[in-house]
Amino acid sequence: MGGLKIAACQALSVAAILIAWEAAVRWGLLDPVFVPAPSSILQVLGVTGAEALPRLGETLLKTLLGYALAILAGVPAGLVLGSRPTAHAIAMPYVVALYGVPKILVLPWIALIFGIGLSTAVLSAAVFALFPVVVLVAAGTRDVDPALVTVATSMGASRAQIIRKVLLPTVLPSVLTAMRVAMVFALLGALIAEMLAGNRGMGFQMQRAALAFRAPELFAATAIVSVVSISVVLFLEHLNARLGRWR
């Protein structure tokens, strides 16, 4: 099956679902209070969309700030852990354990200290994104082929040269992957913080709409966030592919 045919099938499937959904609401099979018709979502989209922009910006800002923190702290930590086997053996189990603990559990405490607002969400985004970064970068650093280092050393390369010419190129793909993965986690962290303890941003908006039974608005907001998130991920993947073309 060619790529075009596949894309057509996918589009048709999505269209079919939307049509069936619309029909189900109109024929009374689905209660519009709980599951709004796609047409009503579309209607609201214009209004919600306009209102959503500043809120979306708010959420994205928190995401990016938290993301930056996670990268700045996580990449060096991952590099250190990955390059020193003893440190790795000692500390890694804790990192993995902390990774396994649902991070949302500490959010109330962060909210208690930093209040309801930007800082909490930024910290939340940072916490959610930090662990995948550390784990991925550490794994990538560990994977450096010692044979390559031996070759470089035998050719008289200095420590700095080995880092630049052997380690960095090997580690770079893992770092890029980590940066890509971290973005979704950071967004997740920001949204959760907004839902739990926020007064602005898309997460808060969605939570409020849900509790007020404003279904079309909620679904529209959900769609907006989904589309933005998918676009960001696709963009990062595209970037990753371009940067990694030498491989």
Residues forming contacts to other proteins in the complex (CB under 8 A) are 1, 6, 9-10, 13-14, 34-35, 86, 89-91, 93-94, 97, 100-102, 104-109, 111-113, 184-185, 187-188, 191-192, 195-196, 203, 206-207, 209-211, 213, 215, 218-219, 222, 225-226, 229-230, 233-234
Helix ranges (H only) for the chain are: 3-26, 38-83, 85-100, 107-114, 118-142, 146-154, 159-162, 168-197, 201-211, 215-243
Least separation, in Å, of the C-beta of 1 and other proteins?
A: 6
Residue 71 vs 95, nearer CB to other proteins = 95
**Residue whose C-alpha is closest to residue 191's, from 201, 181, 199:** 201
Closest by alpha carbon to 136, among 177, 190, 96, 104? 177
**Closer Cβ to other proteins, 167 or 204, answer by number:** 204
Question: Shortest distance, CB of residue 110 to other proteins, whole angstroms?
Answer: 10
Using the minimum distance from each CB to other proteins, give the nearer residue, 62 or 166: 62
Question: Positive or negative, the Cα torsion across 95, 101, 102, 103?
Answer: negative
Smallest distance from other proteins to CB 164, Å: 31
For the bound state, the minimum distance from the C-beta of residue 46 to other proteins, rounded and expressed in Å, comes to 20
Nearer to other proteins, 166 or 197 (CB): 197
Instruction: For other proteins, give the closer residue by CB, 33 or 160.
Output: 33
| Angstrom distance (rounded) from CA 179 to CA 77 | 14
Closest of 125, 129, 120 to residue 71, by C-alpha: 129
